[in-house]
Structure 1
Amino acid sequence: MRLVIARCSVDYAGRLTAHLPAAPRLILVKADGSVSVHADDRAYKPLNWMSPPCTLKEGDDQRWTVENKAGEKLIITMEEILHDSSHELGTDPGLIKDGVEAHLQELLADRMETLGEGWSLIRREFPTAIGPVDILGRDSDGTTVAVEIKRRGEIDGVEQLTRYLELLNRDPHLAPVKGVFAAQEIKPQARVLAADRGISCVTLDYDGLRGIEDDKLRLF
């Protein structure tokens, strides 16, 4: 991973345009090719970013151009570089799911009909080069479907599923692969991003999957 702290301005050109005026920022360049620009707030969320696969070109004029396969560009103009270092992090062991997420995955794999009549399971924890897909299955038309499961569905989960889909759709034995983002609760922003990327959203009823009926509205 490369860490750069610089006073810079950022311009995005693609389906829309966006501009960040010059200010001190942190730029992360990861081994997977992704580039993200961060301020000293907003927790983990970047101000702007480019997901892989993309290419980074550093010009002699202190201008970085990051471009993806769709032709979208993230242009970072450096005014002053305050820090520039690279660090080898190695292979990450991956996220260990909490009990609820792990159980949701197990329950949904056993009850694929929850997602639609005629759906079937191919494999849980289907391996990819960037980590395992929670569930790989087929819908009633025989189309391959990748399912990412979260307890709480947010934008980063949609981004994660997007990366899986980009890899899976390169495999001619699986493509075309559709995406399903499944969670007990899905944030509105995550739904908007998922819809923009052609990913379906499903809200999971944990108790329902466990076979426990909701008796809150019952008198007896």
Structure 2
Amino acid sequence: MLCMPCVALQWWPMRVIVADCSAEYSGRLNASLPLAKRVLLIKADSSLLIFSELGSYKPLNWMTAPCTIREIDPAAKSAQHSRESVAGGAVDGDSATHSPESVAAGEPEKVLRVSADKGSDILEVTLQHIYSDQTYDLGEDPGLIKDGVEDHLQRYLAEQIERIGKGAKLVRREYPTGVGPVTNISL
């Protein structure tokens, strides 16, 4: 596992965990996810998102940055064995080794306790069985380049105003109104 400082920076890897997990959220409201196989994404900014295979493209539950992720090994005999972590994994080592007795007793392999840095929101994810825990360095993202957005259409219309009709004249683009900006065209 990669060790990281408490402040996640944009070049730290994305962490993808596939696990049988449950989650409890408390904060502005209370919500819970029962035990099921899910995908957890821990992004470079430390935000955590929980997805299911079916349904919406949106996460079932999440905690946005800024937040702090504390990774807890329930099998640890003392508080010395708990681990502080952020997007890249445990700071003081890997905690994936568990005794057969603890697994047979139904103890979770790991607990991720995510707390908002501003406010009292807490998301606690109990990882009962971890199928995969990987990190990926995605590098710098160049961003999304959009084509055909409103600005392009306005420019196209302004350059070819005669297509609207003979004598059409662009009066003003982005004229502010009570319901939002409009483009004024006179005929």
Normalised to the residue count of structure 1, the TM-score between the two structures is 0.50
Give how far 1:103 is off. Answer: 3.1
What CA deviation, in whole Å up to 9, does each residue of 1:174-209 have, x standing for no partner?
Answer: xxxxxxxxxxxxxxxxxxxxxxxxxxxx666xxx42
Partner-residue secondary structure (3-state), 1:84: strand
User: What does residue 67 of structure 1 align with?
Assistant: 115
Task: Give identity over the alignment, percent.
Answer: 45
Partner of 1:16: 29
Q: Which residue of 1 aligns with 2:59?
A: 46
Matches within 5 A, 1:75-154: 75-103=124-152, 111=174, 114=176
- Separation in 2 of the partners of 1:13 and 1:78? 18
Report 1:32-43 matches (<5 A): 32-43=45-56
Detail structure 1 runs of 4+ shifted over 6 Å in the superposition: 104-107
From the superposition, tell whether residues 30 and 115 of structure 1 become closer, same or farther in structure 2 (CA, over 3 Å).
farther
Higher mean displacement: 50-59 or 38-47: 38-47
Mark the CA change 1:114 to 1:203 in structure 2 (over 3 Å): closer, same or farther: closer
Equivalent-residue separation in structure 2 for 1:18 and 1:32 (angstroms): 23
Rounded to whole Å, the distance in 2 between the matches of 1:71 and 1:105 is 45
Amino acid at match of 1:114: P
Q: Which has the larger radius of gyration?
A: 2
More helix by share: 1
Distance in 2 (CA, whole Å) between partners of 1:82 and 1:51 is 24
- In 2, the alpha carbon distance for the partners of 1:59 and 1:100 equals 46
Aligned residue pairs: how many? 122
Q: Which residue of 1 aligns with 2:100?
A: none
- Structure 2: state its 5+ residue gaps: 1-13, 75-109, 159-172
